[in-house]
Amino acid sequence: MGSVGTSVASAEQDELSQRLSRLRDQI
Amino acid sequence: MALPPQLKAIQHYLRTAQEHEKRDPVVAYYCRLYAMQTGMKLDSKTPECRKFLVKLMDQLETMKKDLSDNESITQEVVGNAHLENYALKMFLYADNEDRAGQFHKNMVKSFYTSSLLLDVISVFGELSEENIQHRKYARWKATYIHNCLKNGETPQ
């Protein structure tokens, strides 16, 4: 995977982590 | 949606969630939350896993919205107690059957599900020593009795 592909993957991963912590925040 | 092989370890939690969808949505929610957290640790990089986890996250967000008036969802301490009570109830049912010498598939499943739910409780923090022991015992009993029933032997 090239550097563009890598950044897209990590951005998507970050988004998932953020959604998870938002979900956990309100618990 | 098919579960990618890399996420095979979360399949039992997702199945337990599905089985509790109507019976106890709080249990279903926390099983999925545990599966989500574990799945992200296992593999959130490959496209098939990401796609699966995004879908699971969508489902969790929808459930959370639908259950927004339920204190077991909005307050961690209440949710923890709910899950713990439920897991213990299931454990006690199986344990009573065991002590009464009533061995059947349903009690094996109850032992196994209680051990899965004790895993799920770890979303609230480290498990107590008592819960760790219950989990170990329930998993061992489920495997042992399952094997006995399969081989036509009487559990001791």
Cβ distance B45 to A13 less than 8 Å, yes or no, reads yes
The whole-number pLDDT of residue B76 equals 86
Cβ-nearest to A20 among B40, B45, B50:
B40
Closest approach of A9 to chain B, Cα-based (Å): 6
C-alpha torsion sign, points B140, B38, B16, B12: negative
Dump pLDDT digits (tens) for B33-91. Answer: 999 999 999 999 999 999 999 999 999 999 999 999 999 999 989 999 999 999 999 99
Per-residue pLDDT at A3 = 57
Please identify which residue in the block is written with the tokens 């909005």: B74
Mutate to test the interface with B, among A7, A16, A26 (most CBs of B within 10 A): A16
For residue B67, give the chain A residue with the closest CA: A27
What separation in angstroms does the CA of A7 have from each of A1, A18, B31? 10, 16, 31
The mean pLDDT of B140-145, rounded to a whole number, is 97
Q: Could you give the CA distance from residue B55 to residue B74 in angstroms, rounded to a whole number?
A: 22
Per-residue pLDDT, B15: 98
CB–CB of B64 and A26 under 8 A?
A: yes
Confirm if B75 and A27 have CB atoms less than 8 A apart: yes
- Span of A4-8, B48-52, B106-110, B150-154 with lowest mean pLDDT: A4-8
* B44:A26 CB<8 A: no
Residue of higher predicted confidence among A3 and B73: B73
Helices (H) and strands (E) counted in chain B, each on its own, are 7, 0
Closest CB from B36, B57, B74 relative to A26: B74
pLDDT given for residue B73 in this prediction: 94
Q: What is the average pLDDT across B118-145? A: 97
